[in-house]
């Protein structure tokens, strides 16, 4: 599997989850709603793009994965099964990969820290310690 597909599906995960939680199985056919959070709408658009490009069996498999993820949003296995469906579709359709990548927000990572002694990092920063009385660990 290409690294590009793995990266895209990893980036799309929060959008897909937000869409499934917001819409349930209706995510595959629902129209965009201005009242719904932007993240859920991106995920909805991604799932619909995949669904519209699948054959009858592929649609049924995707619908089943969406239903499982909607029923159990905190179940990592259900989320993984949904991501597998997306990966399968992307491996079979290079144009779909470009389309979904175009739906993701550009401009890099936005990280926000809020609260006393909060830490925000846009990647792996190593050890981060907050609070009083700590010493820096030595390797």
- Are 12 and 46 spatial neighbours (Cβ–Cβ below 8 Å)? yes
The tens digit of pLDDT for each residue in 56-93 reads 999 999 999 999 988 888 888 998 999 999 999 999 99
Q: Who wins on pLDDT, 3 or 51?
A: 51
**Residue 128 within any structural domain of the chain:** no
How many whole angstroms separate alpha carbon 109 and alpha carbon 119? Answer: 15
**Residue 116 within any structural domain of the chain:** no
Handedness of CA 12, 14, 15, 18 (dihedral sign): positive
**Residue 50 within any structural domain of the chain:** yes
Q: How many domains does the chain have?
A: 1
**Residue 133 within any structural domain of the chain:** no
- Identify the three-state secondary structure at position 47: helix
Structural domain for 87, as ranges: 3-103
Prediction pTM value: 0.60
The tens digit of pLDDT for each residue in 24-42 reads 767 676 666 554 566 778 8
Residue 11 has what pLDDT? 87
């Amino acid at each position: 599997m290409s690294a590009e597909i793995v990266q895209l599906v990893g980036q799309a995960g929060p959008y897909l989850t937000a869409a499934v939680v917001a819409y349930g199985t209706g995510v595959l056919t629902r129209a965009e709603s201005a009242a719904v959070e932007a993240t859920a709408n991106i995920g909805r658009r991604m799932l619909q793009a995949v669904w519209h490009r699948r054959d009858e069996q592929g649609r049924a498999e995707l619908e089943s994965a969406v239903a499982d993820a909607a029923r159990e949003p905190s179940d990592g296995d259900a989320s993984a099964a949904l991501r597998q469906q997306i990966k399968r579709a992307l491996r079979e359709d290079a144009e779909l990969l470009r389309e979904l990548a175009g739906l993701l927000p550009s401009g890099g990572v936005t990280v926000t820290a809020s609260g006393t002694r909060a830490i925000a990092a846009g990647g792996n920063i190593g050890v981060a310690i907050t609070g009083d009385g700590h010493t820096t660990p030595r390797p």
